[in-house]
Homo-oligomer: A and B are copies of this chain.
């Protein structure tokens, strides 16, 4: 027999899970009917969640999530949990493929490296933790642009100065928007010498269960080594790593969906 699980706590979190993107308020009647609880029991659980600061009563019998979850969420994302969590995954990919791998977040309209792995034969990779890259001409960047809100993306494209780094750099907005839509469709992005001549990359998103992009993962290297075959292999490894990341960030009880 396994460890005894506390039923009350399970019910409390079942209530919290009723809140979703389309539902920011929940009533006692909702809880009783959807969780198959006695009305009085539902009432008592809601009052308990209010008591501990998890819910706020907006009217009698109607509740919404408290801002305390923003604080708890900040505790999860503060510090370097994400970089530390993803580093072993990057190490494994680089050990496997002998090409550099990187994890990024999107901050102040730039792609920022939060973890990287470099193989022994790559002594002069120019990326380090903290490095910032433009979004419009990188595989990471196109992934971020694909999965951010439309409003944030429109603002980015309205304001970014799109320099042409190489002959391959896409600067026309319409072309960019088509490429970004394709990345969203495929779930990954490629880069072939857009930011730096002779460098190819493939990137995938790590998505939160709520749909928001948490981080990007990529493999990159010289075009001479990043053949179509290696690139496809790298893509498969990155997709697998993104799923593993979900397990590490959320725990293993529910397989994250890509």
Contact = CB atoms under 8 A, between A and B. Distances in A.
A75 B9 contact: no
A53 interface: yes
Interface string A60-83: 000011111111111111110100
A124 interface: no
Interface string A153-180: 0011001000000000000000000000
Contacts of A55: 251
Interface string A121-138: 000000000000000000
A69 B65 contact: no
Contacts of A1: none
Interface in A49-105: 49-57, 64-79, 81
A51 B253 contact: yes
A5 B47 contact: yes
Interface residues of A, number: 62
B74 A212 contact: yes
Nearest to A246: B67
A4 interface: yes
B72 A67 contact: no
A55 B64 CA distance: 22
Contact of A8 (B8, B69, B253): B8
Interface string A1-17: 00111101110110010
Interface of A: 3-6, 8-10, 12-13, 16, 19-21, 24, 43-45, 47-57, 64-79, 81, 108-109, 152, 155-156, 159, 208-210, 212, 214, 248-251, 253-254
Given A69-B69, A72-B73, 6 more contacts: A8-B9, A9-B48, A65-B76, A71-B73, A108-B159, A109-B109
